Structure 1
Amino acid sequence: LDYKALETTDADCYDCGGWKTTDADCYDCGRWRTTDADCYDCGGWRTTDADCYDCGGWRTTDADCYDCGGWRTTDADCYDCGGTTDADCYDCGGWKTTDADCYDCGRWRTTDADCYDCGGWRTTDADCYDCGGWRTTDADCYDCGGWRTTDACCYDCGGWRTTDADCYDCGGCVIFREGLLEAQPK
């Protein structure tokens, strides 16, 4: 042994991992070392207590370890509420609530009973009208070709539509009577 490096003149110097000892009884206790033979593996850490219980992702010397969903607790009154000890926990889809009035509102949930299906989205307004590709709570929805409008004055302006009545077909282009563009002679 390199006594100078150990700074000792004692020949009985033993390597005990990261540190040195003159005690030959050096036990491997995982990440650390000890001269105590009573070293028990308790998961990621070590203990001299033989009573080490598996409590899920972590360990404890407390035998009363209960499964509380994603987490653990030593409280026996553990209700599946995403993890809570509150008994008044109701399943409201992806989340939990202590309110028993949980209604299915499609992709999301609500405690509001007035939840209506309005196509791809939901609303608490019962007046939901089909306005083509989209929905609206406005009853005045008119078909204006490829798109919809709440303006009843929808005119056919060739390949596209407009709410402007002064729309003239000028060959390949379209102009307005008082528009910025003027018709080019053919």
Structure 2
Amino acid sequence: MTPEPVGVAPQDPTPQRDLTAHRRVAAVLESLALHHVRPELRQLPGAVRTARAAADALGVTPAEIANSLVFVATAEDGTTAPVLVLASGGHRVDTAKVAGLLGVTSLEQADPDFVREHTGMAIGGVAPVGHPTRLRTVVDASLGRYDRVWAAAGHSHAVFATTYDELIRITGGQAMDVA
């Protein structure tokens, strides 16, 4: 992907607050910069808390949205840890399948408090990077079908363009068929 200047490209002419200074968006941009990525950042006119809403706002299909979903993985010894699954918005994550592939006993959808504790972000704005600590990450292999996919940028009104290969590189993620 050819780096593009970081900037906010509003979807409508209504003046909007520049989200690049928002602390979570700034953390995402800083993390991306450490990986030599200067993303195309889009500020959306409203909150996009679902893949369908993001796709509609961007004029793409839900499958081109990289949903950042946080799960609680439980190991055989009962310990738990967060797992970030970057899943295509075009389908649901098969948690039993992914748990088996990860070698954990179970994988459960995290509640909003757990998500915020481990990512620093609210559901609907969770980015693939920019978290307080690095999360074990799975990247849905079906995202590889697209030249460009969109991911949240730390705020429910902000997204950035990326690629499947770039998602794996910047997250250290493991490619996996998650459906």
Give the TM bin, normalised by the shorter chain. Answer: under 0.3
Instruction: Provide the TM-score with structure 1 as the length reference.
Output: 0.18
Instruction: Provide the TM-score with structure 2 as the length reference.
Output: 0.18
Which structure is larger by alpha-carbon Rg, 1 or 2?
Answer: 1
More helix, by proportion: 2
More strand, by proportion: 1
Structure with the larger RCO, 1 or 2 (CA within 8 Å, 6+ apart): 2
